[in-house]
Amino acid sequence: MLSHLRYISLFLLPAYGLLAQPSEKKLTPDDYIARYKEDAVKEMYQYGIPASITLAQGMLESGNGNSALSVYANNHFGIKCHKDWTGPTYIMDDDAKNECFRKYSDVLDSYADHSKFLSTRDRYAFLFEYPKTDYKAWAKGLKEAGYATHPTYAEQLIGLIEQYKLYELDKDVALSMRTIKEKKPQVKLNLRQVLKFNRTKFIIAKPGDSFYKIAFDFDLELDELLKYNDFNKGDKIIPYEKIYVEAKRRKALEPYHVVTKGETMASISQLHGIKLTSLYKKNRMRFRSADPAPGTVLYLRKKKPKHEAAK
């Protein structure tokens, strides 16, 4: 068992890894790879951890996304709470009874936290000196650093990588990273269409998008992107909605907006590219107060007159 992480061997899954699982169809290794390989690649671009290693660890630690911890807490790497964790938790028996594990709102959060876990702890620093394509050195290094105590942990990672040819992901990414570095600094691999409204750049969210993916694509900090869009970390992206990649304006292009059924202050803010705080102030409303009723006229450029706000 791991001292700080929950280690689940694929070879032991029939014995205890899936006992507490829901009854729906379990993910196969191929299902897992197809679903999360892009996330592993994204983490390699951002943190330099081989995609093959991240994906193999996710498969091994989560039982291909079927373990109780991965299903109910979106925790695919078995990371326990530790003293620095302030987020949601999931309690379950592991090395001891009622141990605390990190709980994530999204699987992508688990992938990102795994990357941060490895890249910010001194015990793993030597791994980043290995070539990104040397998955064997990374697998053995993880074992040496104490990521897992199981005697064949490295061999199992290597076995998964070679069985499913995950090393091909490392080669493709390493080549792309080298090509990007050889180009001018302003060149970035980004296939998203960037639009502009109210002098502010935005994109249209795709199905399956997350703030992590968009922040990575535009070299933004996650908190920065959330602030631009007046979102909180727990909020979800709706496919095909506007996501701004720079700060919205204090004024809109249109002078007024008439609220229709289903609209909120947040949705109106996104629609017109105006900061949410500005929208509330212009209409003399307390920030985050109840959304206006359909038919309400909102001011978007000037401040609502006091006599109208009192009505």
Show pLDDT as tens, one digit a residue, over the chain (311 residues).
344 444 433 333 333 333 344 546 799 999 999 999 988 888 888 888 999 999 999 999 999 999 999 999 999 999 999 888 889 999 998 778 898 999 999 898 999 999 999 988 899 999 989 888 899 999 999 999 998 888 999 999 999 999 999 998 888 665 555 544 444 444 444 567 888 888 999 998 888 888 888 888 888 888 999 999 999 877 888 888 899 999 999 999 889 999 998 889 999 999 899 999 999 999 999 988 888 999 999 999 999 888 776 55
pLDDT score at 311:
57
For domain 195-244, give the fold: Membrane-bound Lytic Murein Transglycosylase D; Chain A (3.10.350)
Residues forming CATH 3.10.350.10 domain(s) in the chain? 195-244
Count of C-beta atoms within a 10 Å radius of residue 282: 20
Q: How far apart are CA 243 and CA 237, in angstroms?
A: 9
Map the chain to HEC letters.
CCCCECCCCHHHHHHHHCCCCCCCCCCCHHHHHHHHHHHHHHHHHHHCCCHHHHHHHHHHHHCCCCCHHHHHHCCCCCEECCCCCCCCEEEECCCCCCEEEECCCCHHHHHHHHHHHHHCCHHHHHHHHCCCCCHHHHHHHHHHCCCCCCCCHHHHHHHHHHHCCCHHHHHHHHHHHHHHHHCCCCCCCCCCCCEEECCEEEEECCCCCCHHHHHHHCCCCHHHHHHHCCCCCCCCCCCCCEEECCCCECCCCCCEEECCCCCCHHHHHHHHCECHHHHHHHCCCCCCCCCCCCCCEEECCCCCCHHHHCC
Q: What is the pTM of this model?
A: 0.54
Helix, strand, coil percentages (3-state) for the chain, rounded to 5, are 45, 10, 45
pLDDT score at 310:
58
Task: Tokens 């935005």: give the residue.
Answer: 202
The CATH number given to 256-309 is: 3.10.350
Q: How far apart are the first and last CA of the chain?
A: 66
Residues forming CATH 1.10.530.10 domain(s) in the chain? 10-182
Task: Tokens 């996501």: give the residue.
Answer: 243
- Kindly calculate the radius of gyration of the chain based on its CA atoms and give it in whole angstroms: 23
- Comparing CA positions, the residue from 64, 13, 55 lying closest to residue 165 is 55
Q: How far apart are CA 110 and CA 112, in angstroms?
A: 5
Find out whether 61 and 8 touch, Cβ atoms under 8 Å: yes
Phi first, then psi: what are they for 203, rounded to 5°? -125, 170
Q: What six digits make up the tokens of 265?
A: 């202050």
- Comparing CA positions, the residue from 229, 194, 193 lying closest to residue 210 is 229
Is it true that domain 10-182 has CATH number 3.50.50.100? Answer: no
